[in-house]
Structure 1
Amino acid sequence: MLFLTRRRRVQREGVDFQQIDNEWDWDNFLILQAYVGAAAYCLFPSLLRGLPLWDPRGLAAAAVVHVAVSEPLFYWAHRLFHKGHLFDHYHSLHHSSKVLQSFTAGFATPLEHLVMCVVMAAPILGATLVGFGSLGLVYGYVLFFDSMRCMGHCSVEVFPSRLFESLPVLRYVVYTPSYHGLHHMEQDSNFCLFMPLFDALWGTLNTKSWQLQKDISSGKNDEVPDFVFLAHVVDVAFAAHSPFLLRSYSSMPYTFSIFVLPIWPIIFLVMLMMWACSKPFLVSFYRIRGLLHQTWVVPRYGFQYFLPFAKDGINDQIELAILRADKMGIKVLSLAALNKNEALNGGGTLFVDKHPNLKVRVVHGNTLTAAVILNEIPDGVKEVFMTGATSKLGRAIALYLCRKKIRVMMLTMSSERFLKIQKEAAPEHQEYLVQVTKYQAAQNCKTWIVGKWLTPREQRWAPPGTHFHQFVVPPILSFRRDCTYGKLAAMRLPKDVEGLGVCEYTLDRGVVHACHAGGVVHSLEGWTHHEVGAIDVDRIDVVWKAALKNGLTPV
């Protein structure tokens, strides 16, 4: 959970899709342990059936065998796996993971897992043979063993340095994530299982171990991001897509899955806790050309944005995130989806006006969203029909298209809002903006730009062959089989992105919503202006060219 561990990470890099895919079967060792347990039960049924539920003497016996047998056995087996053929054909797979996570502990070849089973079984077998075995010891020791391995691979320093300064002997009794992290960074040191004592005895203890542990546990490994994308949770089920909950699930585009149902009540209770006491938290990060880009989440769910009494509370959370970013020294903060709702805060204007001395640049990213939609429209189109025409995005798209002498049928019941937008256009272009009040007006137009939800009945007015371009959240239902439906405006991140391992909502890997991409461009270009409120139509082409220049590509 990065919002808890940001300052204590041993390795600062994010986990990418390739590592997640490589480690997909990290739990194979659990299956092997089950087979070993079943085999032991078949071979020694009388011995295991007679085990008591718990025998405290077994704990002491297992501890002695662990220190005397398991630790040295693992140490020398581990050193052997770092040599020649065994490393090239077996152990190198484990070291191919660039960023350690708890899952990495189970990422190994079958031969290594077999050796690990022998190491693990020794204390249980030893305690049982001397008559002190118990069912509690069997399950307890295995859980302890696997938990310690996962802790060592978690890449988050969990021990305070003061603990080791107060009791120096503990340094040799228990290893830390930073200690094991050094083994993966400098492979010829720190080979122990859980006790650095054996590295000290046999001369393979890395001299940087104690200082590195102290530096990281004190929070010195903190890093201020250059850019933050401030998102929000869509619904209760979507919360299961968070990377700190299910890494494999979040690495794929979001779709509702049956396995979410059993944990839905738990997520719902967590949601209530988040409402009661919440602040923006960090969920993922990646790098582009050395710049650190992070995603923070306002702990508010989509339906809350439509509750009148929740407006002030939501704005308070967004304001807290902006002020926190400003204090940290972040350069750009981009507002996602409903966090920049016009009725909520005027597309971010509320915060910029309230805090005129902000150093962090607040960006709604809608300029690039408009550019993406406009560049989807094929050449030769002479007429479009638009819903949500007087919204922030609708206005910008309409004004841009009329400059290209494309007739825009703007669906709106408000003549006042329509005339206000029409007057913004040059006199020679105003005739291309036409107000319509019924869907029937578009029954011969095959290019629809949808900024407001369309029911299946309303979609019926579109002629066969119509393409629906969309900037409405959530997307409209694909009701018509004789029509085509565009996805929400999005762009693919540059090829040199590093550490990205999370899919943004329903989008494919490496693809982000256009407003997110707009913030990325703002950051990469080093622009120093706020992008809030109404979209500057003159900047649509500027932002589009900047996005392409920086390696972002249309989906």
Structure 2
Amino acid sequence: MLFLTRHRRILHDGVDFQQIDREWHWDNFLILHSWIGALACYVSPALQHLPGWDVRGCLVALLFHVGVSEPVFYWVHRALHRSSYLFTHYHSLHHSSPVPQSFTAGLATPLEHLILGVVMGVPLLGAFLLGTASVGLVYGYILLFDFFRCMGHCNVEVLPRGLFKTLPLLRYLIYTPTYHSIHHTEKNSNFCLFMPLFDLLGETLNEKSWELQEAVVSGRNKDRVPDFVFLAHVVDVISCMHVPFVFRTFSSIPYSVMTCPIILVGWIPAFIVMLMMWAWSKTFLVSFYKLRGRLHQIWVVPRFGFQYFLPFAEDGINRQIEMAILRADKMGVKVVSLAALNKNEALNGGGMLFVKKHPHLKVRVVHGNTLTAAVILHEIPDHVKEVFLTGATSKLGRAIALYLCRKGIRVLMLTPSKERFQIIQEEAPKEYQKHLVHVTKYQAAKNCKTWIVGKWLSLGQQRYAPPGTHFHQFVVPPIIGFRSDCTYGNLAAMKLPEDVQGLGMCEYKLKRGVVHACHAGGVVHALEGWTHHEVGAIDVDRIDVVWKAALKHGLRPVWC
């Protein structure tokens, strides 16, 4: 949970898709040990009649752990590193994860899992042979063993600052996540299982271990300020669990309940959390990545999609967005980009509200709709001479209409308001105003095969489209594809460059490495170093400027 642990992280890099895929089957060792345990219970009926608890067994297991398990693991682990053959074939997999996490503890070859099974089994076997075993010992020792393994790999320093100052001897009896992270970064020291004492005796103790631990706990190892922040929002109750700190694997694939039906079990807990967030809402960090050497972060305003359409919720939502912008400004963030509903025109005028209220903001507020418009416009084939536009008087609809009419394309603008249509028409050069046509019914598009949808369409409304129609869309949520004889475009999105680092989360229903165009628009704004706010109405003259800048930095539309 980065919003809780960001100041105690040891390595500040993000976890990418490659590492998540590599660690997908991190629980293989649990399956292996379950089989071994089940087999042992079947072979030996005596195991089924163990007492619930025996203190003597705990003492025996502790002695065997310190006297046998720890030194055996130390020497075997050290041998795996000292032999290039053994390391390459049996241990390099475990070190292939650049950023250790708790899951990394289970990433190992079958040989390593068997070795760990033996190391874990010796204390239990000793207690059994001496007649002091118990059910509590079996469960307790295995749980503690796995807990300490995961703790050492978690990449967050969890032990308190003054613990080793008060009890100096303790630093040789229990390792820390910082201590073990050094083993993963330097690989030639800190080989112990849980007790640095054996590294001390084997002269493989890294001298920086306690110094780095002190730096992390004291805050001297703080992460640097991001250049860019994308301020997202939750869509619905289930999608709020599509984040790395709930299910890392689930968030690494495009959002769909069908890919993880078990997620439905979490609906009630998620609903309770939603109510708690209503009562006490704060923005929190979900993920981060690096692009062109700059740090980009995704923050979430904990507001659910339907809340944006409740009139009494508007002030509260705007307060949360404003708090996030002011926090970013205080931190030194350069650009904050607003996700779809966070920049709703009816909510805050596409971000204009915050810029007017705080005229001295150093952080640039960006709605990203200029690039969204560019993506939609460049998706339209060159041969198209007429389009049907719904949501025609919205921020995006206005810009699309004005851009297309300059290209000589006839735009059927669906809006019940003649006045709003005329205002937009008057913005177009006089020689192109004739290409903007006011319509009030869907029947007007019965012969038009290119629909640009900015307002949700029902099945009945889609029936007016002729067969072979393609629906381009910028409506949130996207329309449902009712027509099998028509095609449906996705929401405007762009692929990030291949050199992006640390990205391990899919953005809602988009594929890996793809972000919504408004997100990409903020990225381009930051990479270009532009100093203006991009709020309110879209500047039609900048659509091509932003598009070319995006392509220059390696971003590509999803249809490429």
TM-score tier by shorter-chain length is: over 0.9
Q: Deviations over 1:437-457 (max 9, x none)?
A: 000000000110000000010
Is 1:521 aligned to 2:524, yes or no? yes
The one-letter code matched in structure 2 to 1:310 is: A
| Residue in structure 2 matched with residue 249 of structure 1 by the alignment | 250
| Residue in structure 2 matched with residue 228 of structure 1 by the alignment | 229
The one-letter code matched in structure 1 to 2:408 is: K
| Residue in structure 2 matched with residue 123 of structure 1 by the alignment | 123
| Residue in structure 2 matched with residue 71 of structure 1 by the alignment | 70
Which whole-Å CA distance do the structure 1 matches of 2:482 and 2:308 have between them? 27
| Residue in structure 2 matched with residue 289 of structure 1 by the alignment | 292
| Residue in structure 2 matched with residue 377 of structure 1 by the alignment | 380
Q: Deviations over 1:33-59 (max 9, x none)?
A: 10111222233322x123111122222
1:275 is displaced (CA, Å) by 1.4
| Residue in structure 1 matched with residue 204 of structure 2 by the alignment | 204
Structure 1, 217-226 or 392-401: larger mean CA deviation: 217-226
Which whole-Å CA distance do the structure 1 matches of 2:84 and 2:494 have between them? 45
Q: Deviations over 1:454-511 (max 9, x none)?
A: 0010001001111100000111111111111000000000111001111100000000
The one-letter code matched in structure 1 to 2:36 is: V
Which whole-Å CA distance do the structure 2 matches of 1:182 and 1:432 have between them? 66
Identify which of 440, 443, 446 aligns with 1:443: 446
Q: Deviations over 1:154-210 (max 9, x none)?
A: 111111222212211121111111110000111110000011111111100001000
The one-letter code matched in structure 2 to 1:12 is: H
Q: TM-score, normalised by structure 2?
A: 0.98
Which whole-Å CA distance do the structure 1 matches of 2:270 and 2:75 have between them? 45
The one-letter code matched in structure 1 to 2:358 is: H
Which whole-Å CA distance do the structure 2 matches of 1:519 and 1:282 have between them? 17
| Residue in structure 1 matched with residue 460 of structure 2 by the alignment | 457
SS in 1 for 2:92: helix
| Residue in structure 2 matched with residue 363 of structure 1 by the alignment | 366
1:77 is displaced (CA, Å) by 1.1
Preserved contact between residue 7 and residue 220 of structure 1 (Cα < 8 Å): no
Gaps of 5+ in 1: none
SS in 1 for 2:478: coil
Which whole-Å CA distance do the structure 2 matches of 1:271 and 1:243 have between them? 17
| Residue in structure 2 matched with residue 390 of structure 1 by the alignment | 393
Preserved contact between residue 231 and residue 335 of structure 1 (Cα < 8 Å): yes
1:92 is displaced (CA, Å) by 0.5
Preserved contact between residue 3 and residue 282 of structure 1 (Cα < 8 Å): yes
CA RMSD of aligned residues (A): 0.9
Preserved contact between residue 120 and residue 145 of structure 1 (Cα < 8 Å): yes
SS in 2 for 1:259: helix
SS in 2 for 1:206: coil
Which whole-Å CA distance do the structure 1 matches of 2:431 and 2:406 have between them? 9
The one-letter code matched in structure 1 to 2:236 is: D
Which whole-Å CA distance do the structure 2 matches of 1:378 and 1:61 have between them? 76
User: Mapping of 1:253-332 within 5 angstroms?
Assistant: 253-257=254-258, 258-332=261-335
Preserved contact between residue 179 and residue 190 of structure 2 (Cα < 8 Å): yes
| Residue in structure 2 matched with residue 50 of structure 1 by the alignment | 49
Which whole-Å CA distance do the structure 1 matches of 2:149 and 2:360 have between them? 48
Preserved contact between residue 100 and residue 181 of structure 2 (Cα < 8 Å): yes
Which whole-Å CA distance do the structure 2 matches of 1:23 and 1:94 have between them? 9
Runs of 4+ aligned residues of structure 1 deviating over 6 Å after TM superposition are: none
1:146 is displaced (CA, Å) by 0.6
1:128 is displaced (CA, Å) by 2.3
Which whole-Å CA distance do the structure 1 matches of 2:200 and 2:332 have between them? 42
Which whole-Å CA distance do the structure 1 matches of 2:80 and 2:39 have between them? 26
Which whole-Å CA distance do the structure 2 matches of 1:245 and 1:220 have between them? 28
Preserved contact between residue 375 and residue 492 of structure 2 (Cα < 8 Å): yes
Identify which of 451, 473, 478 aligns with 1:475: 478
The one-letter code matched in structure 1 to 2:151 is: M
Which whole-Å CA distance do the structure 2 matches of 1:263 and 1:63 have between them? 39
1:269 is displaced (CA, Å) by 1.1
The one-letter code matched in structure 2 to 1:198 is: F
Preserved contact between residue 160 and residue 218 of structure 1 (Cα < 8 Å): no
Which whole-Å CA distance do the structure 2 matches of 1:220 and 1:316 have between them? 32
Which whole-Å CA distance do the structure 2 matches of 1:123 and 1:38 have between them? 18
1:9 is displaced (CA, Å) by 1.1
| Residue in structure 2 matched with residue 349 of structure 1 by the alignment | 352
Q: Deviations over 1:396-442 (max 9, x none)?
A: 00010111111111000011111111111111111111110000000
Aligned residues with identical type, % of pairs: 72
The one-letter code matched in structure 2 to 1:379 is: D
The one-letter code matched in structure 1 to 2:406 is: R
Q: Deviations over 1:263-289 (max 9, x none)?
A: 111111111111111200000000011
Preserved contact between residue 410 and residue 436 of structure 2 (Cα < 8 Å): yes
Preserved contact between residue 20 and residue 249 of structure 2 (Cα < 8 Å): yes
Which whole-Å CA distance do the structure 2 matches of 1:274 and 1:303 have between them? 14
Preserved contact between residue 257 and residue 264 of structure 2 (Cα < 8 Å): no
Is 1:156 aligned to 2:118, yes or no? no
SS in 2 for 1:300: coil
